[in-house]
A = this chain, B = another copy of it.
Amino acid sequence: MNSRERFLAACRQEKLDYPPIWVMRQAGRYLPEYLELKAKHGFLKMVQTPNLASEVTLQPIRRFDLDAAILFCDILVIPEAMGQPYNFRDIGGIAMDFAVSSRKDIEKLSPDAIEDKLHYVAGAIEATREKLGEEKALIGFGGSPWTLATYMVEGGSSKNFARIKTLFYQEPELFSLLLQKITQALEKYFQMQIQAGVDALQIFDSWAGILSDHTYWDASAKYMAQLVESIQGQVPVIVYAKGAHHWSQTLARTKADVLGLDWSIPLSRFHDMLGGKFAVQGNLDPVLMSTSPEIVRKEARRILDDFGSRQGHIFNLGHGILPDAKVACMEALVETVRGK
């Protein structure tokens, strides 16, 4: 059984001797070979150049022999393609060129021509597939409509998310207009990624956790359900909603194949909360990758033991790997998951 088969079998909750493993942000700043390329080209050029994006995508596969590659890209290419460019603040975080704040702003955003504007993503997927071969899985991704809307309405990274929540509570019709536009753009974007050759798609609902029980469906999950429906039967979909495990029933309504979990509760409990009906992905605290191989082995072992003989586990961190993660910790993680 090769890596790609193992990954897809886990998505279908088939019985496996050990879970497939990949790591969120695995093509990133903790890798010396990534930093070298970034110093030369810069982040946005790497995203927009298929040969560079595919090279970065492959770096962690070469080094750690992971089961799946995740396309090197950024969730904010969608707002950009809709007419709202962005850049990175010197002090860290995202700054959109402007904040979406009126009906006029929203009406100006266009989900049309996404495929033209983001043709470089299709190019990167094709280039990656060619170099990756058929034995590894390739994952495409996008931000959830809610998570993208937070950046678009807040004008970048936010602390309290007051503007987007105020829009949700105070102008539900405008909120819905914006989220529908983003969802339309994502539908096209995901179809393009499928055509270009991804084996699965992950939707990152990174800002799920700032919502509340009675708002999560209306503000976020229902748009993800719409996306899952548009993909259904083509490739498996992973919904990763950070800080949201307690809305497991709402997450189940998205009908994703796999649900991701941060490090808040044991993965076994999350699997049980979902009635055992979904594959799950997670859930090592990313900070552990900055400690030592011994600690990583112990904590990874804890997750494997806890999950026990349940079926449908894709091993991953509970969120993206951090820039100060150690290569030796990644090696220890992969070895542990493979029982070496």
Contacts and interface: CB of A to CB of B under 8 A. Distances in A.
Interface stretch (A65-73, A132-140, A160-168, A308-316): A160-168
A276 interface: no
Interface string A12-55: 00000000000000000000000000000000000000000000
A9 to B, nearest CB: 28
Given A160-B287, A162-B324, A243-B243, A212 B292 contact: no
A269 B166 CA distance: 25
Interface stretch (A115-123, A193-201, A258-266): A258-266
Contacts of A161: 287
Q: How large is the interface on A (under 10, 10 to 19, 20 to 34, 35 or more residues)?
A: 20 to 34
A12 to B, nearest CB: 28
A302 B159 CA distance: 25
A299 B215 CA distance: 11
A149 to B, nearest CB: 15
B169 A214 contact: no
B322 A213 contact: no
A165 B285 contact: yes
A335 to B, nearest CB: 19
A99 to B, nearest CB: 15
Given A162-B287, A287-B162, A324-B162, A263 B170 contact: no
Interface of A: 91-92, 159-162, 165-166, 169-170, 209, 212-214, 243, 245-246, 263-266, 269, 285-288, 290-292, 295, 299, 302, 322, 324
